[in-house]
């Protein structure tokens, strides 16, 4: 398995607090069958601002510890970037980068209300040759209230990543309902752990994928394949049927 979204680098955001916790998270992922993890620390304006070149240095400690403990797993680097008007200057300065230096960039939005200029940012990323992946749309309150907002993101070439914790109910009934509804109807492109710790918000990628496989086998294989294509920087085709309120609020 490939996990494209995790917070395993210690002391850079709200993820792992220590190198021990980081290694414990990685061991748990490995035990569940994950062979590749993309570390994606938040880059969030005025909150988490550890720059990409600093993250590369922080990751070295993790990689050295993995080698020391002989854990057979690949760790790659990316970021989870908050959509913001300054993000293009951040890109220019090298503060933020794509997932493993591919065309794919993981982004997030404000969780409670819809900012229409986010679509401008998504469009601009596409113009610059990047493919945005919206992290955990099922958890945003404004999307829970109106799933058809996702159509607007999709029109601008955005892909979507669902959190494993949403599928298993870790983020509440509404996030679970929306995630399962999307999966049932073939909506989205990736499943990832978004793990933040060993106790709270630990990885449950294996369990969630088992649920997905029972609910929609085609989606299960598609999500796994897309993660492989991402790592290889190959094109991921998106053929989503636009969401309709009545259809997608019945579960």
- Nearby residues of 97 by Cβ (< 8 Å), 6 or more positions away: 52, 77, 78, 79, 91, 105
Q: What is the pLDDT of residues 180-215, one digit of tens each?
A: 999 999 999 999 999 999 987 788 899 999 999 999
89-143 tens-digit pLDDT: 999 999 999 999 999 999 999 999 888 899 999 999 999 999 999 999 999 999 9
Residue 251: pLDDT band (50, 70, 90) is very low
- Fold of the domain built from segment(s) 2-248: TIM Barrel (3.20.20)
Whole-number Å distance between alpha carbons of 169 and 116? 29
State the pLDDT at residue 248: 52
pLDDT of 170 reads 92
| pLDDT digits 0-9 by tens, 39-57 | 999 998 777 889 999 999 9
Report how far apart the first and last C-alpha atoms of the chain are (Å, whole number). 29
Nearest by Cα to 75 from 113, 37, 131:
37
State the pTM of this model: 0.95
Helix (H) or strand (E) holding 42: strand 42-43
Q: Does residue 235 sit in helix, strand or coil?
A: coil
Task: Look at residue 244 and tell me whether its pLDDT is greater than 80.
Answer: no
- Note the pLDDT of residue 239: 80
Residue 224: exposed, middle, or buried by beta-carbon count in 10 A (0-12, 13-18, 19+)?
middle
Give me the percent of the chain exceeding a pLDDT of 70. Answer: 97
Q: Is the pLDDT assigned to residue 246 strictly greater than 70?
A: no
Average confidence (pLDDT) over 222-230? 98
User: Which of 37-41, 56-60, 199-203, 241-245 shows the lowest per-residue confidence on average (mean pLDDT)?
Assistant: 241-245
């Amino acid at each position: 398995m490939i996990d494209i979204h995790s917070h395993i680098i210690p002391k850079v955001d709200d993820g792992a607090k220590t190198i021990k916790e980081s290694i414990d998270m990685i061991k748990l992922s490995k035990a569940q069958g994950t062979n590749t993890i993309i570390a994606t620390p938040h880059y969030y304006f005025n909150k988490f601002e550890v720059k990409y070149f600093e993250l590369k240095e922080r990751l070295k400690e993790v990689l050295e510890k993995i080698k020391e403990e002989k854990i057979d797993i690949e760790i790659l680097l990316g970021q989870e970037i908050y959509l913001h008007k300054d993000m293009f200057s951040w890109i220019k300065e090298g503060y933020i980068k794509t997932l493993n230096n591919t065309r794919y960039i993981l982004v997030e939005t404000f969780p409670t209300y819809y900012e229409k200029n986010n679509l401008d940012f998504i469009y601009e990323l596409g113009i610059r040759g990047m493919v945005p992946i919206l992290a955990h749309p099922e958890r945003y309150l404004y999307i829970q209230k109106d799933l058809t907002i996702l159509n607007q993101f999709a029109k601008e070439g955005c892909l979507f990543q669902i959190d494993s914790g949403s599928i298993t109910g870790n983020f509440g009934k509404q996030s679970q309902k929306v995630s399962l509804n999307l999966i049932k109807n073939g909506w989205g492109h990736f499943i990832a752990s978004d793990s933040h710790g060993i106790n709270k918000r630990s990885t449950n990628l294996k369990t969630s994928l088992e649920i997905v496989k029972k609910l929609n086998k085609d989606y299960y294989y598609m999500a796994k394949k897309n993660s492989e294509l991402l790592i290889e920087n190959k094109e991921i085709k998106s053929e989503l049927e636009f969401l309709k309120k009545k259809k997608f609020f019945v579960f």
